[in-house]
Amino acid sequence: MVKITIKDLTFSYNSSAILDGLDLVVEGSEVLGLVGPNGSGKTTLIKCIDRILKPKGSILLDGQEIDRMTQQEIAKRFGYVPQSSSTPLSTTVFDTVLMGRRPHISWRVSDLDLEKVAETLELLRLEDLAMRDFSQLSGGQKQKVLLARALCQEPNVLLLDEPTSNLDMRHQLEVMEMIAALVKSKKISAVMALHDLNLAAMFVDKLAILKGGKIYAAGTPADLLNAKNIKEVYGVEAVVMENLHRPYIVPLRSVNSEPACGQ
């Protein structure tokens, strides 16, 4: 199991600070959900962990500074799943997933690489789509293929940027169930940006609420998802109930909205 330690992390676009002095820890076999309003820094933080962006501060993986890792080492340790992906050429699902083996391929694709792709497709129940054109898949199917591609890297950490965006209810649940199960079975960690607080309450082990580029609070969903925090972070009045021992949020109105007639 691996541990990610983030210390005093800062990132700016030009002179505009996006992340400001973040401290955060992700334990092994843990799903960490990043939540917060648009522009709070969720996607930026994920890209900083994956070194797509170059922040100031420190990110350690099991005590090792990732700044000192080569790009190939980072690609082996971190599997990044973007919100969406398009390929300029027609590519089969099998070949799309095979791209995840790039950090492990030296001169040519080996039998082991092909076996890993086949195993991953079977694990995510995608084998029937192996020869389909990736660009012709539905949104939910594409998201699963991108997850398969990341898993083929055999990473220690999955980084997921809004993995349920643009998915219907069924595919949202399938993707989140799959991620949660993989983290436990493979003893890896996951960091994911999410907008849906109820999905976060159901599937993450720990939450980090971001507001204005800072960590507003970190802890379990049960501890953090309450009416006070939702009002202060999102500017929304909500009722928070307990459902299956998890908080369930019912948004009522924005703080600045006028009540409807008769209320």
What's the CATH superfamily of 4-225?
P-loop containing nucleotide triphosphate hydrolases (3.40.50.300)
Between β-strands 56-61 and 64-65, what pairing exists: parallel, antiparallel or unpaired?
Answer: antiparallel
Residues 6+ apart with CB under 8 A from 188: 1, 2, 28, 29, 155, 156, 157, 158, 182
**Does the pTM of the predicted model rise above 0.85?**
yes
**Is 23 a residue whose pLDDT tops 80?**
yes
**Is 236 a residue whose pLDDT tops 90?**
yes
Mean pLDDT value of segment 202-215: 95
Q: Assign 1 a pLDDT band (cuts: 50, 70, 90).
A: low
**pLDDT tens digits for 87-114?**
555 789 999 999 998 888 877 888 999 9
**pLDDT tens digits for 34-91?**
999 998 999 999 999 999 999 999 999 988 999 898 888 888 899 999 887 665 557 8
**pLDDT tens digits for 146-204?**
999 999 999 999 999 998 887 889 888 988 998 999 899 989 999 999 999 999 999 99
Domain edges within the chain: 4-225, 226-263
pLDDT reported for residue 261: 46
pLDDT reported for residue 263: 44
Mean pLDDT value of segment 11-34: 91
**Is 115 a residue whose pLDDT tops 50?**
yes
pLDDT reported for residue 247: 93
pLDDT reported for residue 13: 85
pLDDT reported for residue 262: 44
**Is 29 a residue whose pLDDT tops 70?**
yes
Q: Are 159 and 126 in contact (CB under 8 A)?
A: no
Distance CA 208, CA 46 (A): 12
